[in-house]
Amino acid sequence: MSEILSRWNVLNRAEAAEEILPCCGSTAWADGMINKRPFDDEASVLINSDEIWRNLDSSDWLEAFKSHPRIGESRSDVSTRGLSADWSAQEQRDVAVAQNDVKLALAEANRAFEEKFGYIFIVCATGKSAGEILAILLRRLQNGKDAELREAAEEQRQITQLRLRKWLGI
C-alpha cells in the first residue's frame, strides 16, 4: 500500500474529502469513497471508485462536470482545488498548443454543446490532439440528451481513474 493511501485512510472526513475531491469533483462520490475506507490497496480504490460513480445520480455527475474547465480554457466556472486545475492543464496540454483555427472551432462547438445539453463538454483529453477532441465533440453534438449524459459520465469515470492513479502515484 502506498504511503498516500495509508495516510488518507486515517484522515478525518473533512481532510479526506479535500484531498480526494480533485480526483472527481462530485461531493457524493468523495463521501462514498470516504465511507468505504480503509482501503487495503490501490486496486481497491480504483474498483470502488467505479462502483460508487456508476451508482450516483445524474445531479452528482453534473456536479463533477462543473469542476472542469471547458476544453481549451484554463479554469472552470466554479472554484476548483489547485490540484484539479493543474491536472486539467496537463490533460489539455495538446489543446493549448493547437492552431488558432482549431481553438476557435473548439470554442464554437463548446458553446453549441452547452446550449444543447446544459453542461460543458466532458472528454478524457489525455493523449488526444485538439483535432481529435474537436472530432469527438462534433460527433457527440449529434447525441440525444440521455445518450450524451451517459457518454459524458463514462468520460468522467475515465478522467477520475487517471487522476486517482496520479494521486496514488501508480
What CATH number is given to the structural domain containing 81?
A: 1.10.3330.10
Judge whether 68 counts as a catalytic residue.
yes
pTM for the whole thing?
A: 0.86
From 22, 30, 64, 68, the catalytic residue? 68
In the three-class reduction of DSSP (H, G, I as helix; E, B as strand; rest coil), residue 54 is classed as helix
How many domains does the chain divide into?
1
In this predicted model, what pLDDT tens digit does every residue of 96-137 receive, in sequence order? 556 788 889 999 999 999 999 999 999 999 989 989 999 999
Using CA atoms, how far apart are residues 167 and 163, in angstroms rounded to an integer? 6
Using CA atoms, how far apart are residues 53 and 61, in angstroms rounded to an integer? 8
Q: Find the domain containing 150 and state its range.
A: 3-168
* pLDDT at residue number 100: 83
Q: What is the DSSP letter of 47?
A: H
